[in-house]
Structures are given as structure tokens and as C-alpha cells.
A and B are shown apart, each in its own frame.
Chain A
Amino acid sequence: MPKITYIEHTGTARTVDADNGATVMETAIKNNIPGIEAECGGACACATCHVYVDEAWRAKVGEPSPMEEDMLDFGFDVRENSRLSCQIVVSDELDGLVVTTPERQA
């Protein structure tokens, strides 16, 4: 089972088990990870599940789609490694993934 580590902007880290095929957002909600709101429920229709992908994982996670980029315009403090966690699907490839949540979502 892949593991994902969520780091809050304050530095607190939590590592949880994730199911293959679930999104990084769903995994966060299931595990009560603070800092991810997912107002729209995973439809790529808001920007409240915004995370920063750890530099070491950026290549594996990949770049946002144009639609996701459009949504990221509404994000808080968007950076080069910004992604919407509802658009990152967990797989064995991503076992050990580290993401950081922004100071606030919206």
C-alpha cells in the first residue's frame, strides 16, 4: 500500500496509507488531514485542495493539465510545484510521495 506524507505549512508531518486509484485529495479527506478543503468534492472545479509537490517527486507526479492550471489561478500562493491534489491519482509509483499544504486554501 503506497504511503503519502502530508506536511502542514507549520511543519507538522503525517504519513498515511493510500489506496491505489484514490486521489491524493481523497486520501487526505479520509485521513482527516488538515489544510485540504476540497470544496467541490474533487471535480477540479475549485482550488481548495491545492498542495505543493515535494521537488524530488515533481517529475513522477507530472505537470497540471490546462484545466487544472485554469483552476490554480484561484489558488493561494501558487508556485511552480503547485498541483490540485484531486488530480493526482495514487499508484505504487508514487509510494512515499511528499506534499505540503499551503498556509490557506482560499
Chain B
Amino acid sequence: MTETIKTDCLIIGAGPVGLFAVFELGLLDIKAHLVDILDKVGGQCAELYPEKPIYDIPALPKVTAQALIDQLMEQIKPFNPTFHLNEMVESIEKIGEPAFRVKTNGGKTFETKVVVIAAGGGSFQPKRPPIPGIEAYEKQSVHYSVRKMDEFTGKRVLIVGGGDSALDWTLNLVPLASRLTLLHRRDAFRAAPDSVNKMRALVAEKKMDFVLGQATSVEGENGVMRAVNVKTEKGEAVRIEADAMLPFFGLTMKLGPIADWGLNLHEELVPVETAAYETSEPGIFAIGDINTYPGKLKLILSGFHEAALMSRKASHYVFPDKKLVFQYTTSSTSLQKKLGVA
């Protein structure tokens, strides 16, 4: 099913800079949709270091990354942005001057006047485990997520990792798999203790196996896996027969499909001019860590500044006949109305 969503502005990336762009655009009456590959807003702040303090946000001497995101969400509430989480933008096609058709891997299509790329370090994608030649098995035998549990019915399944994803899928798939083995490099887990206890009970009842070690190679042919070779904690080589492997090694940032959008790129970054942070394609902007220009600093505060300047140029495209008047939120009743405080 394809639904086409018409909007003034599509923001790619819901990290701190993408979120603040909603605010600056909102003050200029531009409504925004945001797409993010994560299942939550906040980007790296929420995914990589939610509990870590940040010390260089102006007027906030110390704020945790998650608290910064929570505050930004509060700040942009009056503008009621629409979030499309768990989705990655796959393609951008020019359909006007400017206007773009943007498609996601979730089957959504947007028609937007401007695009703002606020993608930080790129898109978060599952980390590929360090096993030579594993790529060849990724279509048929190696899976980084579970879409349909049924696929594993009656199969010998090897799950690798020690976090919540690894343990949750272990518990879910034990009843379906003909044999399930959990492989982790040490006997301590990041996962919730309750899940770990349940897993240990299943091992005690001989309903599954737990192996301490690291996978070293995959055996099989034509993309179909037969077995995985493992080096155990004690240095012994063990062969585990398996039809499917589910590695859960966390997420890493990859530039991803941005490279295919026809924009100029420089060392995996998007070059922009510094009056409005617009890319080589008029109507497509890039703000925050993803852009580059002389003197660029990868700071959240720089991204906030870029969002403000970008918004004014975006307004020229969205409302070509509107003359922009510079106003302060402190004194402008029209801005205060938009914020719901006047």
C-alpha cells in the first residue's frame, strides 16, 4: 500500500538538530514531518549516550543527552510535528522547482517542497559481526532482525550476543526452533537479569544450549549456512550446526542511502554553503553533523544555529510571496501565538 503524504518540509533524522529545526521552521509557519530509522527520537543522544552529561549547550551547564531530547520535544510541542520512526529514507526524486518525492523503506511516499537532511553520522544499522565472508549468508541464513518468527520453526538457530535483543529472541524462539544455541563471549550479560535467569533455567532443563565464545567462521554454500565455527573461552574450536544465525551486536552508523541521492559528497559528509546550509541541490538543506563547510564544528549548538538560518531560506521556497520580518519570541505577539503562550 502506498500512501502519499504532502508536506512543506521533510526532515531526515530526529536527533537534536532535526528536532530543533521543527521549532525554527514552526515559527515561520512551516509544518514538518520527520523520518528516523531508530524506534525513538533523539538520534545518537538517545541511542548512544542517553545518561551522559553534555556541558556545552548554551545556558544548560549540565544536561544529560536524554534530558536534552526531552526538553527539545517539549519545546517543539506547539508545532505538532509528525514522526515516522523505524523508517529510512531510500530515495529523493526532484519533481519541481523545488519539490521532491521522497520514499522510505516502509513504503511511504512524501511530496515535499523542501528536504532537510539532519542525519548526523548517517543511519544506525545493525553491526555486522566480525566473521569473514558472512555477507554471503545475509540474504538466506543470517538475519539481524526477526520479521516473522515462523521462519525459524523447526530450524537449528544460533543467536549471538548478550544484550536484551539476543536474550529476548532466545526466549521467544526456543519453543519454535528445533534446537537453539546462544553464543556470547563471556558469562555476564547486559540483558535484563530476569531474561538471563529464564535462559539459564532453559539450559538447565536442556531445552537449549549456551556456549561461551566467539564465532570465527561460517560453513555452507550458495548463501545457505550449515554450521558456525566457534572459538570457546578456553580457546577450543567448536562446530555448531545451524540453519540460521541471528547476531545482535548493536548498531553502528553508516552513511547509507544518502550517497545515492545525487548530492555532492565530501568524505561521507554533505558540503553546504553557509548562508542557509543548502546543498548543491536547491531546496535540499543539510544541517548538523552530516554537513561540512569551512570552519565546521560538529557541535549540537552549531546545528541549532544552522537550523535557524536554514529555516529562513526554506520559507522563501515554501511561501515565495511572503516577506519575512525578523522577530523575537520575547516581544512578538504573533510568534507567541504560534507558541501558544499569547
Contact = CB atoms under 8 A, between A and B. Distances in A.
A77 B231 CA distance: 11
A57 interface: no
A106 B190 CA distance: 19
Interface in B37-95: 44, 48-49, 52
Nearest to B54: A43
Contacts of A66: 188
Contact of B52 (A45, A74, A104, A106): A45
Contacts of B98: none
A73 interface: yes
A22 interface: no
Interface stretch (B134-142, B248-256, B265-273, B310-318): B248-256
A104 to B, nearest CB: 7
Q: Which among A39, A45, A48, A74 has the highest number of chain B CB atoms within 10 Å?
A: A74
Q: Which among A40, A70, A73 has the highest number of chain B CB atoms within 10 Å?
A: A73
B95 to A, nearest CB: 35
A46 B214 CA distance: 19
A71 B48 CA distance: 11
Contacts of A45: 48-49, 52
Interface in B173-225: 184-186, 188, 190, 214
A91 B121 CA distance: 32
B48 A74 contact: no
A1 interface: no
What range describes how many residues of A lie at the interface? 10 to 19
Given A39-B121, A106-B127, A73 B162 contact: yes
B49 A73 contact: no
Contacts of A47: 250
Nearest to B253: A39
Interface residues of B, number: 20
A66 B48 CA distance: 17
Contact of A40 (B49, B130, B249): B49
A3 to B, nearest CB: 29
A10 to B, nearest CB: 17
Contact of A74 (B186, B188, B214, B249): B249
**Main DSSP-derived SS at the A contact region:** loop
B161 interface: yes
Nearest to B44: A40
A95 interface: no
Contacts of B127: 74, 106
A51 B214 CA distance: 17
Given A78-B185, A106-B127, A43 B48 contact: yes
A78 B249 CA distance: 13
Contacts of A76: 130
Given A39-B252, A106-B127, A106-B252, A70 B190 contact: yes
Contact of A69 (B44, B49, B130, B186): B186
A74 B52 CA distance: 19
A88 B44 CA distance: 23
A39 B44 CA distance: 10
Contacts of B44: 40
Contacts of B252: 39, 46, 48, 106
Nearest to A47: B250
A73 B188 CA distance: 10
Interface in B129-154: 130
Interface in A31-85: 39-40, 43, 45-48, 66, 69-70, 73-74, 76-78
Nearest to B163: A73
A74 B162 CA distance: 10
5 closest cross-chain pairs (CB), A and B: A76-B130, A45-B49, A45-B48, A43-B49, A74-B250
Interface of B: 44, 48-49, 52, 121, 127, 130, 161-163, 184-186, 188, 190, 214, 249-250, 252-253
Interface of A: 39-40, 43, 45-48, 66, 69-70, 73-74, 76-78, 104, 106
12 contacts: A39-B121, A39-B253, A40-B49, A43-B49, A66-B188, A73-B163, A73-B185, A73-B186, A73-B190, A77-B130, A104-B130, A106-B252
